[in-house]
Amino acid sequence: MEAPQSVQTPSVNTIARFAYSAAVLLFLTGLFKAMSTFQGSAYLNLRHPIFPISNSSFYLSLGIFEMGLAYFLTRRDVLRMTVPTLVILSIVFCACRVSVHLMHFKESCYSLGNAVEWFGIKPDVGDLIAKGILFYLLLGSSWLMIPIRSGRYSTGR
């Protein structure tokens, strides 16, 4: 059964372009987090507000995970899994953001590591950039997920 003409289905190239853009963003944020853990700061020695480990251990682990995920997203043989993976990842990141907000945690978001300081960006602007990346991943992957879930996925063949 073919999709109606009024419904635009994303092609493999569209999904691949989104996956590559998400991979670049995740690789950069992961690299910033991992590099930041080696600089040392009082914040990194504190306990993470959600998980029972130090911020340093958490951000190093998360940075390595994000860089590995970036590699996964660039592989064309697993392209069909990239969109659901990004939807799940974005939902988890949103849940962490919301839980930190509900805990009235006063520190600025460390999603970009110390890159905010390195580039001379104000913490509030860095937080907005991190939220922008999160919304890009969430909205983009969710938009691409709708045709995949409904069976209107174009394989490009």
Render each residue's pLDDT in the chain as its tens digit; 157 residues.
555 555 566 777 888 889 999 999 999 999 998 988 888 777 778 887 778 898 888 889 999 999 999 998 888 777 778 888 899 999 998 888 888 778 776 665 667 777 888 888 888 888 889 889 999 999 999 888 876 555 555 444 4
Q: Is 37 contained in some domain?
A: yes
What pTM did the predictor assign? 0.80
Asked if the structure places residue 155 within a domain, the reply is no
Contact 83, 144 (CB under 8 A): yes
Residue 133 in domain: yes
Position 47 in a domain: yes
Residue 81 in domain = yes
Residue 112 DSSP symbol: T
**Residue 7 forms part of a structural domain:** no
- For residue 142, what are the domain limits? 12-149
Interacting residues of 94 by C-beta distance below 8 A, sequence separation 6+: 134, 138
Q: How many domains does the chain have?
A: 1
Position 154 in a domain: no
The per-residue pLDDT for 27 is 96
Q: How far apart are CA 44 and CA 46, in angstroms?
A: 5
3-state helix, strand and coil shares in percent for the chain, rounded to the nearest 5: 70, 0, 30
| Whole-number pLDDT of residue 50 | 76
| 20 in any annotated domain | yes
Question: Which pLDDT score is estimated for 8?
Answer: 62
Nearest to 31 by CA among 83, 4, 69, 5: 69
Quote the pLDDT of residue 156: 47
